[in-house]
Amino acid sequence: MSQYPVIVLASRNQKKAGEISELLRPHGIRVQSVADYPQAQEVVEDGSSFAENAAKKASETARTISQWTIGEDSGLMIDALDGAPGIYSARFSGEDATDEKNNAKMIQELAGVPLEQRTAAYVCNVALSNPKGEICLQVEARCRGRMTEAPRGQNGFGYDPYFEIIELHKTFGELAPIVKQHLSHRARAFERFIPQLVDLFQRENK
């Protein structure tokens, strides 16, 4: 039995929930998906930054279900597209967006842009709310790479098959999940977030 409370992730994205659960498990912190709470509403992501959206998801969900909640907002910023798709990464191709449609639009917008100018960054912002809806912790991290012209690899999700870590000559789609867990924007954000989270919970338990 863990000494720490269960944390709810304010996301119905099962792959994202799985990644975050894997990152927190070694520290004895159990993560539950918000999908387990029927009373939790879908939070409207109308913030102007990853930070605003992450905080809103965490605090609104926490107030509804009275649990410690993580809000996470992440996306892709492509330099040649002036930072797009940014906070609209998940719905880049419109309201009925899918990974396939988003990737098709991204490739179309980058048509004619040479490889060396296709630099980009994945950004991840993580916010923690207490059960009252107050934000207690917030961190942001990024991982730089570039967008390939064709997809490579079957792993990951979203834009992963196109996002190449230049030094490794591999896309996130080609990297083994264990490697991505150390390199990705989400891994880097949680690397900063977890020690502060553990410290906070230890103080709460005293």
Q: In this structure, what CATH number is given to the domain that contains residue 163?
A: 3.90.950.10
163 labeled binding residue: no
Is 16 marked within a binding site? yes
Q: How many domains does the chain have?
A: 1
Range of the domain at 111: 7-205
**pLDDT > 60? residue 35:** yes
Is 74 known as a binding-site position? yes
Asked if the structure places residue 111 within a domain, the reply is yes
pLDDT at 196 over 60: yes
Distances 35 to 17, 140, 160 between C-alpha atoms, Å: 10, 25, 24
Query: 13 among the known binding-site residues?
Result: yes
User: What are the E-state strand segments in 12-152?
Assistant: 31-33, 69-78, 119-129, 135-147
Give the Cα separation of 154 and 171 in Å (integer).
10
Residue 199 bears catalytic tag: no
* Residue indicated by tokens 């990152």: 23
In-domain check, residue 84: yes
- Residue 157, in any domain of the structure: yes
* pLDDT value for 1: 43
pLDDT digits (tens, 9 = 90+) for 40-99: 888 988 999 999 999 999 999 999 999 999 999 999 999 999 999 999 999 999 999 999
Annotated catalytic residue, options 36, 46, 73, 82: 73
- What mean pLDDT do residues 158-172 have? 96
In a domain, 147, yes or no: yes
- Taking CA atoms, 68 is separated from 23, 134, 167, 169, in Å, by 17, 10, 38, 39
Residue 1 lies inside a defined structural domain of this protein: no
15 annotated as ligand-binding: yes
Residue 67: how many CB atoms within 10 A of its CB?
A: 19
Per-residue pLDDT tens over the stretch 70-80: 999 999 999 99
SS (H, E, C) 55-84: HHHHHHHHHHHCCCEEEEEEEEEEHHHCCC
